[in-house]
Structure 1
Amino acid sequence: MIRLDNISKQNGRQLLFIEASAALQKGEKIGLVGPNGAGKTTLFRMITGQEPPDEGLVLVERGVSIGFFSQDVGEMSGRSAVAEVMNGAGDVSTVAAELAALEAALADPEQMDALDANVERFGEVQARFESLGGYALEGQAREVLAGLSFSEAMMDGDVGALSGGWKMRVALARILLMRPDVMLLDEPSNHLDLESLIWLERFLAGYEGALLMTSHDRAFMNRIVNKVIEIDGGALTSYSGDYEFYEQQRAMAERQQQAQFERQQAMLAKEIKFIERFKARASHAAQVQSRVKKLDKIERVEPPKRRQAVAFDFLPAPRSGEDVVNLRGVHKRYGNKVIYEGLDFLVRRRERCCVLGTNGAGKSTLLKLVAGATAPDEGTVALGGSVRMAYFAQHAMELLDGDRTVFQSLEDAFPQASQGSLRSLAGCFGFSGDEVEKKCRVLSGGEKARLVMARMLYDPPNFLVLDEPTNHLDMATKEMLIAALAQYEGTMLFVSHDRHFLAALSNRVLELTPEGVHQYGGGYTEYVARTGQEAPGLRH
C-alpha cells in the first residue's frame, strides 16, 4: 500500500535517512521505533506529502485513504465535539453540512421563492446521506468519544472550551471514525487515561486497515503491532512480530555483531603483529606485502551502536516513621460534585501505593490533599514523623525558570553539588553534551518532565507523591526511572496510566469507584488477577 524507496532526508545538519527503504502492506500493524529526534514524525510527514524526501520515492497506491493523527491538533472551536469528530468523516461530513444548510433554508421565510428547488435538492441530498450511512454516523461518533472517556455534556459542549489534552482526543476520534485504509498515529497513547487506553487498544486490534504508529507505552505497543520498523543511524530495519519479539531480536543481533567485531579485531591484531615483526626482514617481504594487501581488502565490521541508557543510582533516602501519611474523615467537594465523603486512608513506610480510578474519581485530588496543594473541607491529613515529601504533578513543569539553562536549573537546586555529579545527573535524565545549555523555555514537555524529575530525585526525599510521572517520557527514560525507583527505599503514592510502570513498582492498590473506595494488598498485577480487569472503569 505504501512503499519508501531509497529515501534520504537531511534536517539542518542532521542526516535523518540515508537510502532507507521500507513498506507497509495491507493488514499490517507496525510500530515505528527509534530514539528521540531519529525522524519518526518526519517519516509520517513524508508519507502524507507534507514534506518531500531529498532523494528517493514515497509511493502510495492509487485510491488509498490515509488518516494522520499528530500531537499538533491546531485550532478547534465553534462547534460541539461530536460535530468536530463527524466533520472529519470524509464525504459524509460534506453531505451532512449541505443537508443542515438545506434544512435551514426550508425553514427560512425569505427563501420561500426557492422552496420547490430546495425541497427537490433536499430529497437528493437526504438519499445520498442515507446511502453513506450518515444517520448511523452520529451514534458511531458518540460511541468513539465515549470510548475516549467523554461525558455526554462534553460531547455536546463547545470543543473550544476543552483543554489541549481533550482536544487531542477529539482529533484522534476524527481519525478513528473516518476508518481510512491506512492510519498513521503519532503517539496516540499520550494524554489518555487507563480506561481510554485499553478501549483504544481494543479498537485498533479490531481495525482491518493498515496501521503505522509510535508510542512510548510498551504494553499498548506490544498488544497491537505485528511488525516493528526501527529508525537507527539513517536506516530503516524491519522486524516481524510484536514489540517484545523486536527487543529480543535486536539484542540477539547486537550480541552477534559484537562477537563478529571482536573476532575480526583479534584477527586484525594478529595480522598487524606479524607485519610489524617481519616488515624489516627481506626474507619475509613477499609475505608481509601479501598480508598488507589482504588487510586493505577486508570489509571492517562495525561494533553495535550503543543505546544511550544511563543508570541512575539513588542516594539512600533518610528513614521516616512507620506512619507516613494519615487521612481521617476527609470530605472534599468541588461545587456540587462530591469527591470524598469521610475518607480514611493510611500509607505506611515502604508502601508503594498506586491509585486507580476513572476520570473524575478523585485520583489527582487525593494526591493534592496528601501533598498539601489543596485542603480538605472536613477531616485531617497528617504527615508522619521525619517524613520528607516531594510532589510531582504536571504543573511542576510550569514552575521552571524559562531564562535558566538545564544545568543552571540543577545548580540552583543543589548549589553544594560538584559540576561533575550534576553533569552525570543530567546525562542520566537524557541531557548529554550541549543539551545542558538549553534554556528551560525551549524544552519540550518530555524534557521539562525529565528535568523536574532529576531535581526531585538527586537528593531523594523519603516519600514520593507522583501524578502521572511517565507522561511525555520516552521508553528508554521510563526504563531508567523504573529501574531507579525499584531500588528506592522510601514510600510512594502514585497515579499512572502506564501498565508496565504500575506492575513494576506497586505493592498496594487504592481503587476509587462510584460505589466507594476499595483497597487491595499486593500490586497492580495481583489487582488485575483478582478483579479480572485492568482498570476500574472496565468492570461490568
Structure 2
Amino acid sequence: MIRFDSVSKQHGNQILFVEASATLNRGEKVGLVGPNGAGKSTLFRMVMRQETADEGQVAIDRGVTIGYFSQDVGEMAGRSALAETMSGAGEVSTVGTELASLEAALADPSRADELDKLVERFGEVQGRFEELGGYALEGSAREILAGLGFSESMMDGDVGGLSGGWKMRVALAQILLMRPDAMLLDEPSNHLDLESLIWLEGFLKGYEGALLMTSHDREFMNRIVGKIVEIDGGTLTTYSGNYDFYVQQRALNEAQAQAAYERQQAMLAKEMRFIERFKAQAAKAAQVQSRVKKLDKIEKVEAPKRQKTQHFEFQQSPRSGEDVVRLEGVYKGYGDRRIYDGLDLLIRRGERWCVMGVNGAGKSTLLKLVASSTTPDQGSVTVGASVKLGYFAQHAMELLDPGSTVFEALQNSFPRASQGSLRTLAGCFGFSGDEIEKPCRVLSGGEKARLVLAIMLYDPPNFLVLDEPTNHLDLATKEMLVEALKQFEGTMLIVSHDRHFLAALSNRVLELSEGDVRTYPAGYVEYVASTGREAPGLRE
C-alpha cells in the first residue's frame, strides 16, 4: 500500500535516511520507533507529500486514502467541536457540504430555471452521501467524541474555547471519523486520560485499515501493533511483533553483532601477531604473504551501533516520619460542584499511591491539596515531620525562565554543584552536547518536562507528588525515569495515564468515582486483576 524504496533524505547537515526501505501493507498495524530527531515526523510528511525524498521514492497505491494526525492541529474556532470533527471527515464531509448547498439552491425561487439540472445533481450527490454513510455521520462523530472524553455540552460548544489538549482530541476525532484506508498517527496517546486511551485502543484494534503510528506509551503500542519499523542511523529496520518483542529482539541482535565483531577482532589480532612475528623470516615469507592477502579480502565486521541508555541515580534523601500526610474531613468544591465530601486519607512512609478516576473526579485537586497549592473548604491537610515534598505539575513548566539556557536553569537551581555533575544530570534527562545551551523559550513540551524533572530530582525530596509526569516524555526517558523511581526510597503520590508507569511503581491504589473514595492495599496490577477493569467505570 505504501512503500519506501531506497529513500535518502537530508535536512541541512543532518542525514535522516540513507537508502532506507520499508513497506506498510493493507490491514497492518505498525509502530514507528526511533530516538528523538531520527526522522519519524519527516517520514510522515513524505507520505503526505509535504516533503520529498532527496533520492529514492515513497510509492502509494492508486486510490488509497490517508488520514494524518500530527501534533500541529492549527487554528480551530467559530463552530462547535461536533461540526469541526465532521468537517474533517474526508469525502463524506465534502459531499455533505455540496448536498446542503444543493438543498439551499432548490429552495431558492431565483434559481427555478435551473430546477431540472439541480434535481438531477441532487439525486447524484444524495446517493453518494448515503453510500458514504453520511446520514449516520453525526451519530458516529458524537460516539467518537464521547469516547475521547467529550461531554454533550463540550461537543456542542465553540471549539475555539477549548484548551490545546482538547483541540488535539478534536483533530484526532476528525481522522477516526474519516476512516481512511491508512492512518498515520503521530503520538495519538498524548493529552488523553486513561479512560480515553483505553477507548482509543479498542477503536484502533477494530479499525480494518492500515495503521502507522508513533507513541510514547509502551502498553498502548504493545496492544495495537503487530510490527515495528525502527529508524536508527539512517536506516529502516522491520521487526515482526509488538514493542516488547522489538526490545527483546533488538537486544538479541546487538548481542549477536557484538559477539561476531569480537570473534573477528580476535581472529584479526591473531593473524596480525603471526605476521608481525614472522615478517622478517625468509622461511615464513610465503605464509606471511598469504595471510596478508587473506586479511585484505576479509569483509570487516563493523562494531555494532548501540543506542545510548542513560541512568539516573538518586542521591540519599532525608528520612521522613512514618506519617507523611494526613487528610481529615476534607471538603472541597468549585462553585456548586462538590469534589470531596469529608475525605479521610493517611499516606505513610514508603507507600506509593496511584490515584485513579475519570475526568473531574478530583485527581489533580487531591495532589494540589497535598502540595498546598490549594486549600480545603473544610477539614485539614497535615504534612508529617521531616517531610521534604517535591511536586511536579504541568504548570511548573511555565515557570522556567524563557531567557535562560538549559544549563543555566540547572546552575541557577544548584549554584554549588559542579559543572560535571550538572552536565551528567542533563545527559540523563536527554540534554547532551549543544542541547544544554538551548534557551528555555524554544524547548518543546517534552524537553521542558524533562528539565523540570531533572531540577526536582537532583536534590531529592522524600515525598514525590507527580501529576502526569510522563506527558510528552519519549520512551527512552520514560524507561530511565521508571528505573530511577524504582530505586527511590521515599513516598509517592501519582496521577498518570501510563499503565506501564503505574504497574512498575505503585503499591497502593486510590480510586475516586462520583464522590466515592475506595482504597486498595496493593499496586495497579493487582487492582486490575481484582476489579476486572483498567480504570474506574470501565469493564474488560
Under a length normalisation based on structure 1, what TM-score does the superposition of the two structures give?
0.96
Q: How far apart, in 1, do the equivalents of 2:223 and 2:360 lie?
A: 27
Note the aligned Cα RMSD (angstroms): 1.6
- Give the conservation status (yes or no) of the 8 Å contact 1:468–1:497: yes
Q: How far apart, in 2, do the equivalents of 1:476 and 1:354 lie?
A: 22
- Deviations, residues 145-201 of structure 1 (Å, cap 9, x unaligned): 011011001111111111111111111111111110011111111111001111111
- Give the conservation status (yes or no) of the 8 Å contact 1:316–1:488: no
Does residue 326 of structure 2 align to residue 329 of structure 1?
no
Q: Indicate the residue corresponding to 1:460 in structure 2.
A: 460
- Give the conservation status (yes or no) of the 8 Å contact 2:361–2:515: no
Q: Which stretch shifts more, 321-330 or 115-124?
A: 115-124
Does residue 351 of structure 2 align to residue 351 of structure 1?
yes
**Aligned to 2:109, which of 97, 106, 112?**
112
Helix, strand or coil: the match of 1:52?
coil
Q: CA shift at 1:95, angstroms?
A: 2.6
- Deviations, residues 238-274 of structure 1 (Å, cap 9, x unaligned): 1111111111111111111011011011111111111
- Map 1:256-405 to 2 at 5 A: 256-405=256-405
Helix, strand or coil: the match of 1:130?
helix
Q: 1:274 to 1:505 in 2, by over 3 A?
A: same
Q: Indicate the residue corresponding to 2:417 in structure 1.
A: 417
- Give the conservation status (yes or no) of the 8 Å contact 2:254–2:306: no
Q: CA shift at 1:479, angstroms?
A: 0.7
Q: How far apart, in 1, do the equivalents of 2:105 and 2:394 lie?
A: 48
Helix, strand or coil: the match of 1:536?
coil
Q: How far apart, in 1, do the equivalents of 2:374 and 2:112 lie?
A: 61
User: In structure 2, what residue type is equivalent to 1:113?
Assistant: S
Q: Indicate the residue corresponding to 2:248 in structure 1.
A: 248
User: In structure 2, what residue type is equivalent to 1:204?
Assistant: L
Q: CA shift at 1:117, angstroms?
A: 4.8
Q: How far apart, in 2, do the equivalents of 1:205 and 1:132 lie?
A: 22
Q: CA shift at 1:469, angstroms?
A: 0.3
Q: CA shift at 1:284, angstroms?
A: 2.2
- Deviations, residues 2-37 of structure 1 (Å, cap 9, x unaligned): 111000001111111000111111111111111111
Q: How far apart, in 1, do the equivalents of 2:285 and 2:428 lie?
A: 53
- Deviations, residues 419-453 of structure 1 (Å, cap 9, x unaligned): 11111111111111221111111111111111110
Q: CA shift at 1:122, angstroms?
A: 5.6
User: In structure 1, what residue type is equivalent to 2:132?
Assistant: L
Helix, strand or coil: the match of 2:339?
strand
Q: How far apart, in 2, do the equivalents of 1:483 and 1:436 lie?
A: 23
How much identity, in percent, do the aligned residues show? 74
Q: Indicate the residue corresponding to 1:14 in structure 2.
A: 14
User: In structure 2, what residue type is equivalent to 1:355?
Assistant: V
Q: Indicate the residue corresponding to 1:220 in structure 2.
A: 220
User: In structure 2, what residue type is equivalent to 1:237?
Assistant: T
Q: Indicate the residue corresponding to 1:518 in structure 2.
A: 518
- Map 1:72-221 to 2 at 5 A: 72-102=72-102, 111-114=108-111, 117=114, 120=119, 125-221=125-221
- Deviations, residues 36-55 of structure 1 (Å, cap 9, x unaligned): 11101101111111100000
Q: How far apart, in 2, do the equivalents of 1:113 and 1:43 lie?
A: 51
Does residue 37 of structure 2 align to residue 40 of structure 1?
no
Q: CA shift at 1:536, angstroms?
A: 0.6
Q: 1:340 to 1:298 in 2, by over 3 A?
A: same
- Give the conservation status (yes or no) of the 8 Å contact 2:511–2:518: yes
Q: How far apart, in 1, do the equivalents of 2:113 and 2:124 lie?
A: 13
Q: How far apart, in 1, do the equivalents of 2:104 and 2:333 lie?
A: 43
- Deviations, residues 458-517 of structure 1 (Å, cap 9, x unaligned): 110111000000001111111110111000011100100000000000000011101511
Q: How far apart, in 2, do the equivalents of 1:90 and 1:331 lie?
A: 48
Helix, strand or coil: the match of 1:538?
coil
Q: 1:124 to 1:7 in 2, by over 3 A?
A: closer
Q: 1:335 to 1:105 in 2, by over 3 A?
A: farther
Under a length normalisation based on structure 2, what TM-score does the superposition of the two structures give?
0.96
Q: CA shift at 1:134, angstroms?
A: 1.4
Helix, strand or coil: the match of 1:537?
coil
Q: 1:360 to 1:265 in 2, by over 3 A?
A: same
User: In structure 1, what residue type is equivalent to 2:109?
Assistant: M
Q: Indicate the residue corresponding to 1:236 in structure 2.
A: 236
Q: How far apart, in 2, do the equivalents of 1:485 and 1:450 lie?
A: 14
Q: How far apart, in 2, do the equivalents of 1:132 and 1:63 lie?
A: 16
In structure 2, the gaps of 5 or more residues are none
Q: CA shift at 1:104, angstroms?
A: 5.3
Q: How far apart, in 2, do the equivalents of 1:537 and 1:180 lie?
A: 31
User: In structure 1, what residue type is equivalent to 2:37?
Assistant: G
Q: Indicate the residue corresponding to 1:426 in structure 2.
A: 426
- Map 1:500-519 to 2 at 5 A: 500-519=500-519
Helix, strand or coil: the match of 2:58?
strand
Q: Which stretch shifts more, 416-425 or 96-105?
A: 96-105
- Give the conservation status (yes or no) of the 8 Å contact 2:503–2:525: yes
- Give the conservation status (yes or no) of the 8 Å contact 2:339–2:515: no
Does residue 30 of structure 2 align to residue 30 of structure 1?
yes
Q: How far apart, in 1, do the equivalents of 2:112 and 2:202 lie?
A: 48
Q: CA shift at 1:380, angstroms?
A: 1.2
Q: CA shift at 1:351, angstroms?
A: 0.6
Q: How far apart, in 2, do the equivalents of 1:279 and 1:216 lie?
A: 57
Q: How far apart, in 2, do the equivalents of 1:441 and 1:307 lie?
A: 28
Q: 1:76 to 1:234 in 2, by over 3 A?
A: same
Q: How far apart, in 2, do the equivalents of 1:158 and 1:102 lie?
A: 26
User: In structure 1, what residue type is equivalent to 2:374?
Assistant: T
Q: 1:116 to 1:527 in 2, by over 3 A?
A: farther
Q: How far apart, in 2, do the equivalents of 1:258 and 1:455 lie?
A: 36
Q: How far apart, in 1, do the equivalents of 2:32 and 2:333 lie?
A: 43
Q: CA shift at 1:116, angstroms?
A: 7.5
